Amino acid sequence: MPNKAQFIEALAERLDGDKKRAAAALDAVIDTVYSMVAKGERVALTGFGVFEKRDRAARIARNPATGASVKVKKTSVPAFRAGAEFKDITAGRRKVAKVAKAPAKKAAPAKKAAAKAPAKKAAAKAPAKKVAAKKAPAKKATARKSAR
């Protein structure tokens, strides 16, 4: 069963791997649905379904463990009704339409200029990084003895 983090990863794949943007988009949709339904408005997403607030009247219920009658106050609960397209896809009568990934982001002008730089300059910088990495002393982990 996918959780919210896994859903964000799947959404990010369709948004060029941008997890922050995917998480922000999902949170914005969820928060909007919460606030509109709490106000009593219906949120209808064509084909997907309808989110709405349903009022439950006060009633007398029975505690199944003891059999005693219990008064239940009037309350409101969220409800979701699946749309026709959602029902068809779930039943296997229809397949999910494959959507192409979003177009790749355009590189910033500074990155384009760096990419057009001659190959000699890029090759000259690479060895310098390797030399600097070799000169750094390796840290040794010290073994600690536990006092017993």
CATH 4.10.520.10 is right for the domain spanning 4-91: yes
pTM (two decimals): 0.59
Residue 89, exposed/middle/buried by CB under 10 A (0-12, 13-18, 19+)? middle
Q: Which distant-in-sequence residues (6+ apart) come within 8 Å of 119 by Cβ?
A: none
For residue 69, give both structure tokens.
Answer: 């009658």
Q: Which residue has the tokens 């948004």?
A: 15
Q: What is the pLDDT along the chain (148 residues), one digit of tens a residue?
A: 789 999 999 999 988 888 999 999 999 999 999 999 999 999 999 999 999 999 999 999 999 999 999 999 999 999 999 999 999 999 999 888 776 665 555 545 554 444 454 454 444 454 554 444 455 555 555 555 555 5
Beta strands in 23-134 (DSSP E): 43-45, 49-56, 59-62, 69-72, 75-82
pLDDT (tens digit per residue) in 73-88: 999 999 999 999 999 9
